[in-house]
Structure 1
Amino acid sequence: MSMRARLLILVLATAVLASVAAVATLRAADRAAERERARPGEPVARTGTVTLRQPGRLLFRNLAWGPQRDHISSVPLTTPAAPRTAAPGNCLRFHAAAGTGICLRATGGVIPGHEAVLLDERLRPVRTFPAPGMPTRARVSPSGRLAAWTVFVSGDSYAGGAFSTRTAIYDTRTGALHADLEKLTVVKDGHRDRAADHNFWGVTFAADDNRFYATLATGGHTYLVEGDLALRTLHTVRENVECPSLSPDGTRVAFKKRVPGAPAATPWRLHVLDLRTGRETALAERRSVDDQPLWLTGDTLLYAVPGDFGADLWSIPADGGGTPRLTVKSGTSPAVIT
């Protein structure tokens, strides 16, 4: 066969392959369009600029199907159902405040893993930390100075009881890393507790960038603990408190509480604890909520409940009245930018 004939065959083969690829692309686009038409109520997300310095915005992990799934997205606080703007990059857990963000994400490579990534106000990575387990909680202090994250080292649920966690706190000002809260001194009922089964999760920070609250699990019970970073201590405050969230004025803690008689897989109900009086208020949300609630305002809480595409964000008054309201469809891990 002559060289000219070979070249002609090569050109024809290339043209055929290009045609096949074009047809496949068009068919894929048609299928995507059909899927969109089949889900008329699904939120719309478009890639754009998202920053931590846009006041009046609600940021969250987008769970709507599409190329922006798992991307941090932004909507106006006044119209959370508006089309969302999504930033590039995936996060499994996220939180932000005062220009600092924390993103827990999966890593690539031969052996999959996870990492905690500190983000600047434009969501650019500043520092990365290894995260030896499945991401579950993340929080940034109101000033943006402190960031905390929790991973499951073993087990994948708080419900069953057979799990182990690792919780870390990083100080962006000093560079100090408390890589494991289990290294701090625990004072339980006025006495130092040296039990080997301590597990911590759900950090929430006070405004002084020293005190914080978290959950301690030990001996088959859970406790609200108040931590002091300077003294490296944790004091138990109250039993049966999980995933605390300190109110903006520092006087109340929202949390999930195990309810006697509830199913083992869905045992929790949201409550609010007044730290001054010790009074607990059960909220009007009757579904089991396995989430660390967020104070949307000083009077309203935001939390995730399982939904069609993973989870939806709902809101409820913090005084025990009102009714649950769907706030963001297909979203989780929220942060309020003020």
Structure 2
Amino acid sequence: MSETVAFVGTYTDTESEGIYRCRVDEPTGSIDDIELVAATDDPSFLAVDPTHRFLYAVNEVDTGAVTAYRITTGNDLEEINRQSIGPADPCYCSLDRTGNYLFVAHYTGGAVSILPIDDDGSVNEPTVTHHSGSSVDPDRQTAPHPHSIVPGPDTDFVYVPDLGTDDVVVYELDRTAGALRERTSVSVQEGAGPRHIEFDSEGSRAYLINELNSTITAFEWDRRSGELSPIETVSTLPNEFDGDNITADIHVHPSGSFVYGSNRGHDSIAVFELTENGLERLEIVETGGSWPRNFCLGSSGESLWVANAHTDTIVGFELVGSDGTIVQIGSSVSVAKPVCLRPVYPRSSDRVA
């Protein structure tokens, strides 16, 4: 694959000023030329629409906001509009398969939002749904904390891991009303703290990373009903590790054969092979920095880039051969508090109606 770019979301409480852009290359995994492209406050999570014409950033602040940008042909960002969304600390955003709706999870606000998107990429006022409940951790689970919101592939089901309640709530997008309707939910182990969820390329399984107990849960996914059925749960840590750790991000390889999860504390990427019975751990690799809050795979599955939030670096890795294992290649860039990476590839045509 030819050279492309990645946009970088950051926390702006230190030296960062907003959203940055860097150059990345597949299959080498190299990364360079980082520069500021949009000044904004705490753009901690980014989403790119299906046509790669628009980028959306949550502003993780007490009042809560989303900012919409147009991606120019030179891969600069032009602000379209900023929309207040109410509940505090939006921490994750994603788009439906048509690019007509933006979904947002509010961690501190204990809610999820849906925002209609106009043809020019601008976001409209949200419809907000509040979660309820709690779980067993006295520090992190006294209230609901939706940590991500992810549409199931090629369906209108939308999945919300709630770290505060130990549930994954399943919604269905009502396109007529522009609203999310709760359909079902599935609970994980008490104190697990579900954070992010990803689906495999065949659309038959889902993989959930649990922040508080450093595990990944594999599910069978029924795309007709939207239901998730647990298969097994495995640790992301070496057996001998007894230090403090919380997990962060998870991604499935484009081939559908491997899954990767990040450890904060152990500061590593855990690599698993996807098997008929669940997950088999292949290796755990240091990230070349501290606190890997987010990472991304290249679209061809030949490279991986890790955002180390506490050491202010983004580090490149190459996938070796066809066995899913990764090797750090010595290529990195420096930027304050990197917490989200979003590659952008050559754009496709019009949005789906």
* TM more than 0.5: yes
In the alignment, the residues of structure 1 paired with residue 80 and residue 229 of structure 2 have an alpha-carbon distance, to the nearest angstrom, of 34
Q: Structure 1 residues 59 and 176 mapped into 2: Cα distance closer, same or farther (>3 Å)? A: same
Q: Which has the higher contact order (CA 8 A, sep 6+)?
A: 2
State the structure with more CA Rg: 1
- Alignment check: 8 A CA contact 1:290 1:305 kept: yes
Q: 2:47 aligns with which of 86, 95, 98?
A: 95
- In the TM superposition, residue 254 of structure 1 has moved relative to its aligned partner by 0.6
Structure-1 residue corresponding to 2:37 = 86
Structure-2 residue corresponding to 1:71 = 19
Q: Structure 1 residues 64 and 121 mapped into 2: Cα distance closer, same or farther (>3 Å)? A: same
In the alignment, the residues of structure 2 paired with residue 62 and residue 194 of structure 1 have an alpha-carbon distance, to the nearest angstrom, of 30
Structure-2 residue corresponding to 1:323 = 328
Unaligned 5+ runs, structure 2? 111-136, 163-167, 171-183, 237-246, 346-353
- Alignment check: 8 A CA contact 1:75 1:85 kept: no
Q: Structure 1 residues 132 and 272 mapped into 2: Cα distance closer, same or farther (>3 Å)? A: farther
Matched, 1:168 2:149: yes
Structure 2 length as normaliser, TM-score? 0.55
Task: Name the aligned partner's letter for residue 251 of structure 1.
Answer: S
Structure-2 residue corresponding to 1:275 = 274
Task: Name the aligned partner's letter for residue 323 of structure 1.
Answer: Q
In the alignment, the residues of structure 2 paired with residue 145 and residue 249 of structure 1 have an alpha-carbon distance, to the nearest angstrom, of 27
In the alignment, the residues of structure 1 paired with residue 138 and residue 325 of structure 2 have an alpha-carbon distance, to the nearest angstrom, of 28
Q: 1:336 aligns with which of 330, 336, 343?
A: 343
- Structure with the bigger percentage of strand: 2
- Alignment check: 8 A CA contact 1:147 1:170 kept: no
- Alignment check: 8 A CA contact 1:204 1:213 kept: yes
- Structure with the bigger percentage of helix: 1
Structure-1 residue corresponding to 2:304 = 301
Structure-2 residue corresponding to 1:152 = 107
- In the TM superposition, residue 235 of structure 1 has moved relative to its aligned partner by 2.9
Deviation string 1:263-322 (CA, Å, 9 cap, x unpaired) is xx71453111111363322243266644232113513221122456xx211122344453
Structure-1 residue corresponding to 2:115 = none
Q: Structure 1 residues 186 and 314 mapped into 2: Cα distance closer, same or farther (>3 Å)? A: same
- In the TM superposition, residue 224 of structure 1 has moved relative to its aligned partner by 2.3
In the alignment, the residues of structure 2 paired with residue 66 and residue 198 of structure 1 have an alpha-carbon distance, to the nearest angstrom, of 31
Matched residue count: 262
In the alignment, the residues of structure 2 paired with residue 114 and residue 248 of structure 1 have an alpha-carbon distance, to the nearest angstrom, of 33
- Alignment check: 8 A CA contact 1:295 1:301 kept: yes
- In the TM superposition, residue 105 of structure 1 has moved relative to its aligned partner by 0.4
Structure-2 residue corresponding to 1:312 = 313
Q: 1:252 aligns with which of 248, 258, 262?
A: 258
Matched, 1:234 2:228: yes
Q: Structure 1 residues 65 and 221 mapped into 2: Cα distance closer, same or farther (>3 Å)? A: closer
Unaligned 5+ runs, structure 1? 1-53, 188-192, 258-264
In the alignment, the residues of structure 1 paired with residue 203 and residue 68 of structure 2 have an alpha-carbon distance, to the nearest angstrom, of 17
Q: Structure 1 residues 250 and 120 mapped into 2: Cα distance closer, same or farther (>3 Å)? A: farther
Q: Structure 1 residues 210 and 150 mapped into 2: Cα distance closer, same or farther (>3 Å)? A: farther
